[in-house]
Amino acid sequence: MASKPPRTIPVAVRELCLAYPEAEEVESHGTPGFRARKGKFFAYFCVNHHGDGHVALWLNTPALEQSRLIASSKDIFKPPYLGPSGWIGVELNRGFSWKRVIELVHAAYVNSSPKKLVVSLGKTPAVRRPDVKMKPEEIDRLAAPRAIAVLAQLRRICLALPDACETVSSGVVTWRAGKKGFASLYDFGKGLTASFWVGIERQGPLEMDPRFSIPPYQGHNGWIALDLRAGVAARELRELVVESYRHFATRRAVAALDAADSRR
């Protein structure tokens, strides 16, 4: 008899949150969110949100319950942004009681959803718990072997440029010319991606290649995102990096780069 495949935390979370009347999943800023009948969100499933290391459900529980719940367990915390409004975060990768998770999701749904849906609730959904923890590379996708190799490749290119430095923030590795970022590497669940400035004029022609897309937030400023899942030639990667670097670096740094290139 074939053994059952492992039941993961993301699978169990989705099944639980979608078990409620008219619940739907809606992505918000790259994070799966759950709401009922286009009402207020009652839950977000956040993995390593801004590099915090948590595998967590953020839940819209009654504001007066927040302090008591946080004090009740080391696996319940006050999340950023939504915490001041009474939300809690529940860590799911450290053995916290799944029965308790179900109770807290139920309370969040009741607190957030239209009254007509709440009164139609029957028993609390009985959803089977996950039976495997998430691995480190599933939490921090930049710790996966493929990401480590690409990160090393980009470091060799970027840090060889005059006055370049590297910073890490919110799960994004960024290379800067002085204080201005010229390249970044990240994986927010849609695959390993690098981004660079190419100018608005080049965005359209590059988008004809399915590996390229215009990213949110930065796209209107001339940035392009490159999907790295299928790999990229070292020469192409360097050309993109250097083009972006030249746009942001000082004249002195660009002159130093040109002098170094002329000696090759």
* pLDDT at residue 2, as a whole number: 54
d(CA 169, CA 191): 18
Query: What residue segments make up the domains of the chain, in order of their start?
Result: 9-135, 141-262
**Which residues, other chains included, contact 205 with Cβ-Cβ below 8 Å and sequence gap of 6+?**
none
Q: Select from 3.40.50.2300, 3.90.1150.30, 3.90.1150.10, 3.40.50.300 the CATH code of 141-262.
A: 3.90.1150.30
**Dihedral in degrees, nearest 10, Cα atoms 150, 152, 153, 159:** 130
* pLDDT at residue 142, as a whole number: 87
* pLDDT at residue 39, as a whole number: 81
* Model confidence at 109: pLDDT above 90: yes
- At 237, is the pLDDT very low, low, confident or very high (cuts 50, 70, 90)? very high
Question: In this predicted model, what pLDDT tens digit does every residue of 70-90 receive, in sequence order?
Answer: 999 999 999 999 999 999 999
Q: What percent of the chain has pLDDT over 70?
A: 98
CATH code, 9-135: 3.90.1150.30
Q: Which two tokens stand for residue 87?
A: 């939300």
Higher pLDDT, 191 or 170: 191
**Dihedral in degrees, nearest 10, Cα atoms 137, 142, 143, 149:** 130
**Which residues, other chains included, contact 231 with Cβ-Cβ below 8 Å and sequence gap of 6+?**
none
* pLDDT at residue 140, as a whole number: 85
**Do residues 58 and 79 lie in contact, with contact meaning Cβ atoms separated by under 8 Å?**
yes
